[in-house]
A and B are shown apart, each in its own frame.
Chain A
Amino acid sequence: MAKEMLKGNIAIAEAAVRAGVEAYFGYPITPQTELLEHMSRRMVELQRVFLQAESEVAAINMVYGAACTGVRVMTSSSSPGFSLMQEGLSYIAGSDLPCVVVDVMRGGPGLGNILPSQGDYFQITRSAGHGDYHPIVLAPSSVQEAIDLTTLAFDLADQYRHIVIVAADGLIGQMMEPAELPPMQSVRTNRPDWALTGADGRQPNSIASFYLKAEEEEAFNQKIQNRLHEIRDAEQRFIEYYTDDCELLVVGYGSAGRIALSAVETARDNGMKVGLFRPLTLWPFPEKRLSELTDMVGACLVVEMSAGQMIEDVRLATGGQIPVGFYGRMGGVIPMPDEILQAITTHCRQLKHCEGAFTPLERVNS
């Protein structure tokens, strides 16, 4: 299939359609709305389920119901709406059900604004609802990656019977760039044996997140933890650039990671030994590789479109062995490559072998 100009939100929606999503429930919110609008047309054309819910609370509980029947189901929202989905997500996690949720993050807290942000990192990766669990979280940095990770999201959700969240930000949702969509997968016709399809010729199935006895609830929690362990072992994903000989390792995901790459490339042109580590999975955080890299580099610089949330995972992975610096912008402000370059330069100067400390920006400033 050839590349075409696609807007991020529409690309994610169409990727979900092609992954065989059978039901979509959502509520309009900027900067995600085009996703819902695309679904309102495509799902109806394909005689699948589209429903605009009365709220995000209802949307995620509709997802919960549809997930009980064993179909591929999704919803999408942006930060304030994602907050409202916490209840339903926790029940879905407590019922061992698969589903895909897209959060096109915007500036917060509160109503915030409709500009790109990565301020939901804690909320998404820690649990996205009450209780002991983590969803799988995938973070695209381009329209193409948004497509690929959405496709992967449905496969991982089914494979692990788990929630998968595609954590995009307003930039990914709103920008247009050339990308290639996968071919259409056919919708599954078989249903898993646990699905609520009516107890015809079999014992009744029941789906609940309710265990009155502490020991039973603990046993269920243990089952979740075992699965999370398996996911942590098998699914850590990332992309690394210029890490062969780098002294300073920049760490950034999504749009921040992508912008950081331009800064890293300029720094390289200026002779600085800088690399980039870009997590694709925010949970499980790619700690194994980052911990290996810790032995090879002198310091890390974390770049985020937040006050610094992923930095906590970077600190855990690097185990206090190297300094971890931070550069971030908040509230919908997008960090520019020049600003990141300056942060890289400052950090490099403190490292013995990083070299090439004069950047074009510094020359202008001095």
Chain B
Amino acid sequence: MMTTTLNETSTLVYERPHSLAACNTNYCPGCTHGVAHRLLAEAIDELGLRERTILVAPVGCSVFAYKYFNMDGCEAAHGRAPAMATGVKRVQPDKMVITYQGDGDLASIGMAEIVHAAARGENITTIFVNNAIYGMTGGQMAPTSLPGQKTTSSPFGRDTILTGYPVRMSELLSTLDGATYIVRRSLHDIANIRKAKKAILTALKVQMNGMGFSMVELLSSCPTNWGLEPVEALHWIENNMIPAFPLGDYKVIEEVRSL
């Protein structure tokens, strides 16, 4: 963070990143979508990319992300952000193109689009916010919901006999040759938030260097639909989500290591 001297007696130590728009968001208190936004905006600022970045927002709670960032942006159909981003990127390969997607968007309705964008090695970056639930529509089961997890469409808890098992997207996409940087991080505490920021910086550098598809999966909270207090929700990430979605680097090609 930049430190600006305001006058002799006070010093600014914390401010809104230039890449975030000066507006209120629709996120619930304690929701980590806001943290994810800030990390992405800080990373874009630090790399000086704002003026040449196009953000593709999803359908989900972050549907207004194209307004929350102070840069060019658009809003894709549910799950189609990687296809839309492909269209933007192919005609403007010198621009930075980022998709920001939830787990219903990316791992359910948009499964085909994300898999093929990764398989093509599309030179875009995806920020994947995994909160194990459909936030925007009021807390239905997502493909990432945990076995036994109660949601408004699995009121007795997710029954794996009927609905199968959580999809682990980072593991799945890391099997594709076109994917060059795939990592999973968590937003449940400060140390992990710092690691998430570092990963976002790396993912953007991967794209800047034309190295192919990069994705940072962020384990994120939905206190509202999990029915938990914000702090409890952070503990829920740590205690329940991380065992099901282990943090780590799933694909880091050699060239990325030397970035």
Contacts and interface: CB of A to CB of B under 8 A. Distances in A.
Interface residues of A, number: 39
A196 B54 contact: yes
Contacts of B116: 53-54, 58
B71 interface: yes
A206 B72 CA distance: 6
Interface in A74-99: 87-88, 91, 95
A58 B112 contact: yes
Contact of B112 (A22, A51, A55): A55
Chain B CB count within 10 A is highest, among A57, A59, A63, A204, for A204
B95 A65 contact: no
A61 B90 contact: no
Interface stretch (A137-145, A207-215, A305-313, A326-334): A207-215
A236 interface: no
Nearest to B70: A204
A123 interface: no
Nearest to A63: B87
Interface string B52-76: 1110110000011011011111111
A64 B51 contact: no
B54 A49 contact: no
A95 B66 CA distance: 14
Contacts of A63: 87
Interface residues of B, number: 36
Interface stretch (B77-85, B185-193, B245-253): B77-85
Contact of B95 (A57, A64, A91, A198): A198
A205 interface: yes
Given A58-B112, A68-B74, A53 B88 contact: no
Given A55-B112, A87-B77, A200-B52, A65 B88 contact: yes
Contacts of A67: 87
B48 to A, nearest CB: 11
A208 B72 contact: no
A62 B87 contact: yes
A204 B90 contact: no
Nearest to B89: A65
B2 to A, nearest CB: 20
Given A197-B92, A198-B51, A208 B86 contact: no
Nearest to A207: B74
A354 to B, nearest CB: 52
Contacts of A201: 51
A58 B90 contact: no
A198 B91 contact: no
B238 interface: no
B90 A197 contact: no
Given A71-B91, A196-B88, 19 more contacts: A49-B91, A51-B86, A55-B112, A57-B83, A57-B113, A61-B80, A64-B83, A64-B87, A65-B76, A65-B87, A66-B88, A73-B87, A73-B91, A196-B54, A197-B95, A198-B95, A206-B72, A208-B74, A210-B75
B51 A66 contact: no
Nearest to B96: A198
Contacts of B21: 204
B150 interface: no
B50 interface: yes
Given A51-B90, A55-B112, A198 B52 contact: yes
A23 interface: yes
Interface string B90-102: 1110010000000
A69 interface: yes
Contacts of B70: 199, 204
Given A54-B116, A66-B90, A210-B63, A199 B84 contact: no
A283 interface: no
A61 B52 CA distance: 21
Chain A CB count within 10 A is highest, among B67, B84, B91, B116, for B91
Chain A CB count within 10 A is highest, among B71, B88, B112, for B88
Contacts of B63: 210
Nearest to A54: B116
A88 to B, nearest CB: 6
B112 A54 contact: yes
A285 interface: no
5 contacts: A64-B84, A196-B72, A197-B95, A198-B51, A199-B51
A35 to B, nearest CB: 19
Contact of B84 (A23, A49, A65, A210): A65
Contacts of B69: 204
A253 interface: no
Interface in A25-51: 25, 49, 51
B86 A62 contact: yes
A199 to B, nearest CB: 5
A87 B83 CA distance: 13
Interface string B236-259: 000000000000000000000000
Contacts of B85: 65
A196 B77 CA distance: 17
Given A88-B77, A198-B51, A49 B90 contact: yes
A57 B88 CA distance: 16
A305 B74 CA distance: 40
B113 A61 contact: yes
B90 A54 contact: no
